[in-house]
Amino acid sequence: MTPDLFRALCGRFTTGVTIITTLDANDNPCGMTANSFASVSLDPPLISVAVDHAATIYPVMRAGSRFTVNILDAHQESLSRRFAEGLDDRFDGVAWQRVNDQVIISGTLAFLRCDKWAEIPAGDHTIFVGQVMSGETRADGTPLVHYRGTYVE
Ligand SMILES: Cc1cc2nc3c(=O)[nH]c(=O)nc-3n(C[C@H](O)[C@H](O)[C@H](O)COP(=O)(O)O)c2cc1C
């Protein structure tokens, strides 16, 4: 298995796009674009996301006990790009709110507030399993969709 073929294979699976957010020890917001989000269990309500060990949010998520999954709307492609670019100032100019020590990005399709439930090392990533404690969704909106390494209508 080559990295190129692995990417090509996995890229045939169409996903939505999320930004995973949390607060660091200094109360600064952290966030990263992620499409590895999946629902895992109904009882208890669990979700998972795989985070690269090289990502700046990784040590923050290891140290912390909560994170939020923000599910992006189609109009938020620029946010998805911004939170995947490695910027230090990625929250500058971004509308977000701090609610119950969680970082909620405005204008999304939905957000899920999670307590960290498990961490499972998996190669160069760690799968963070979160128990969904609360969340909100919108009745309207269109999902941001990712396929074969690009955003599609
Ligand atoms: C559509 C899309 C989905 C991504 N999904 C993930 C993911 O699930 N897990 C991950 O660790 N990185 C994912 N990335 C890559 C990170 O967003 C990117 O490497 C980010 O810059 C890493 O964070 P850092 O810049 O803070 O180190 C994704 C990028 C894009 C564009």
CATH number for position 93: 2.30.110.10
What is this structure's pTM? Answer: 0.97
In the predicted structure, residue 131 carries a pLDDT above the cut 90: yes
Residue 85, domain extent: 17-136
49-75 mean pLDDT: 98
Tell whether 122 is covered by a domain: yes
Query: Is residue 119 very low, low, confident or very high in pLDDT (cuts 50, 70, 90)?
Result: very high
Could you read off the pLDDT of 90-116 as tens digits, one per residue?
Answer: 999 999 999 988 999 999 999 999 999
Reading the block at residue 107, the tokens are 């204008």
> In testing the pocket of ligand 1, which one of 24, 28, 32 has its CB within 8 Å of the most ligand atoms?
32
Tell whether 126 is covered by a domain: yes
Which residues, in sequence order, are bridge partners of residue 151? 146
Does the Cβ of 79 fall within 6 Å of ligand 1? Answer: no
In the predicted structure, residue 149 carries a pLDDT above the cut 90: yes
Tell whether 38 is covered by a domain: yes
| CA–CA distance, 129 with 133 (Å, rounded to integer) | 13
- Burial of 144 per CB tally in 10 Å (0-12, 13-18, 19+): buried
pLDDT value at residue 100: 87
Supply the residue whose CA is at minimum distance from atom 16 of ligand 1: 84
Could you read off the pLDDT of 4-31 as tens digits, one per residue?
Answer: 999 999 999 999 999 999 999 999 999 9
pLDDT value at residue 139: 84
Which value, in Å, is the radius of gyration of the alpha carbons in the chain?
15
Give me the number of domains the chain comprises: 1
Tell whether 60 is covered by a domain: yes
pLDDT value at residue 153: 87
Tell whether 63 is covered by a domain: yes
pLDDT value at residue 19: 98
Tell whether 24 is covered by a domain: yes
Distance spanning both ends of the chain, measured CA to CA: 30
Does the Cβ of 59 fall within 6 Å of ligand 1? Answer: no
Task: Return phi, psi of residue 109, to 5°.
Answer: -75, -35
Tell whether 3 is covered by a domain: no
Q: 44 preceded by cis ω (within 30°)? A: yes
Average pLDDT along the chain:
97
Tell whether 145 is covered by a domain: no
